[in-house]
Structure 1
Amino acid sequence: MTAAAYRNTLLSLLCLTAGIVDVIGYLSLGHVFTANMTGNIVLLGLAIGKSLQVTVFHSLTALIGFIVGVIVSTIIVGKAEKTFWPSPVTKALAIEAFILFVFACLSISSAFVPVYILIILLSIAMGIQTIAAKRLGIAGISSTVLTGTLASLLEDLSGRLFFSKQNKTFLRDAVLRALAIILYCVGAMIVAFAEPHFHYIIIWAPIVLILGIILTALTKLQKVK
């Protein structure tokens, strides 16, 4: 595999991770999204409109956590040099992995841990990942913002369909955007199938994925200019 293929694969795996984390949060933490803030804001609006106080606090906690994660990640990677795989991106992912590890450990004794702590841990991790992935600058993909990714994909496909000059070329960006959406959905499906019977196992899956991404980045991409 070329360095570009490795990098594109790692970005795709970040999308898979986000799908897994989002559904873990939705199924286990009171039906709240911790990665997809568009859906979370919609749930927040519905909860406020129907005076569902618990749901309001859950959604607000996720939103605050995500904001914190974005700020932290921006501080880490915001001024990183535009290299093939900036080292601050790896540092940000390492922090994300640690936060997910803390979440997994606390989930074991979740009966004694306030749900708000678990929500904020997952949402901070996803905020960090969103900016770290976006900093790679690949097809405008940030691993959690699927609406924009879907719109860009449809724009690409429409352009090739209706404008003959674009029909001859199948752009890499369109493939990556489609793959990002598919893998996010696959991550959600994995948790939906596994969560009822393997709850305390599936929560470790995103940690393993992030650690694998970090290891691959360090060994295959960190020195690529």
Structure 2
Amino acid sequence: MTVSAYRNITLLLLCMTAGIVDVIGYLSLGHVFTANMTGNIVLLGLAIGNSLQLTVLKSLTSLIGFIAGVVAAAALVGNKKKSFWPRAVTAALAIEGAVLFLFALFSYLFADVVSVYVLIMLLSFAMGMQTTAARKLGVAGISTTVLTGTLANFFEDLTGRFYKAGDRGHFTRDAVLRALALVLYCFGAVIAAFAEPNYKFAIIWLPIAIILGILICAITKFRAYTEEKA
């Protein structure tokens, strides 16, 4: 495969990671989204409207954690020169992996003493970092966690193919990637939905393994492309 194909696969795997993390938050941390902030803001509004103080606090914690992750990643990658795979993206994903690993340790070894708000903060911080790191790559406008825009872009592409007779049946690479991003996010959610009720928090090791694999790929496949113009 080409290095571009490897990069596209890593981006799609990050979408699956976000789907897994969102289900963990929703099923095991009190019905809160830790990757999809659109849904989380809706839940926050519902909680405020129904005077559900605990739900408000959880949603706010997730939102604050996500923003903190975005700010941290932006400080790390935001001012870096655009390239095929910036070194700062590797660093941001390494931090994300470390935070997810910390979540895994806390949820397994100290589940009885660690506050649920700490766990929510860790997951949302990791997803905030992932969002900004993925956006820095600039592939098909995919951010891995904000999929409403990806869904809209895909159906805009689909509509465009329909009205252009000469292009019917032919999708651009970006359109295919957007469709796969949606599928992989949903697939991650399905995996977590099956695993989480019986093996609480255990599925977090899959995103950790994915991040580790991506880091290995970045070191072995993308090293020569860290300064090249995309």
Same fold (TM over 0.5): yes
Could you tell me how far 1:143 is from its partner in structure 2? 0.2
Give ranges in structure 1 of 5+ residues lacking alignment. none
Could you tell me how far 1:199 is from its partner in structure 2? 2.3
- Check the 8 A contact 1:103/1:121 in 2, yes or no: yes
| Letter aligned with residue 147 of structure 1 | T
- Check the 8 A contact 1:86/1:222 in 2, yes or no: no
Structure 1 residue 120 corresponds to structure 2 residue 136? no
Change (3 A) 1:169 1:145: same
In structure 1, the partner of 2:93 is 93
In structure 2, the partner of 1:84 is 84
Could you tell me how far 1:162 is from its partner in structure 2? 1.3
Alignment of 1:58-69 (within 5 A): 58-69=58-69
Could you tell me how far 1:97 is from its partner in structure 2? 0.5
Mapped partners of 1:188, 1:4: distance in 2: 26
Could you tell me how far 1:166 is from its partner in structure 2? 3.9
Mapped partners of 2:132, 2:115: distance in 1: 27
Mapped partners of 2:148, 2:167: distance in 1: 23
> TM-score w.r.t. structure 2 length?
0.95
Structure 1 residue 35 corresponds to structure 2 residue 35? yes
Aligned length: 225
**What do the CA deviations read for 1:91-135 (whole angstroms, capped 9, x no partner)?**
000000011011110001212111100001100000000000010
Mapped partners of 1:28, 1:169: distance in 2: 42
- Superposed CA RMSD in Å reads 1.1
Mapped partners of 2:167, 2:71: distance in 1: 38
> TM-score w.r.t. structure 1 length?
0.97
Alignment of 1:160-179 (within 5 A): 160-167=161-168, 169-179=170-180
Identity %: 64
Mapped partners of 2:111, 2:88: distance in 1: 32
**What do the CA deviations read for 1:120-163 (whole angstroms, capped 9, x no partner)?**
11000000000000100000000000100000000000001013
Mapped partners of 2:111, 2:69: distance in 1: 22
In structure 1, the partner of 2:137 is 136
Mapped partners of 1:216, 1:185: distance in 2: 24
Mapped partners of 2:90, 2:61: distance in 1: 26
Give ranges in structure 2 of 5+ residues lacking alignment. none
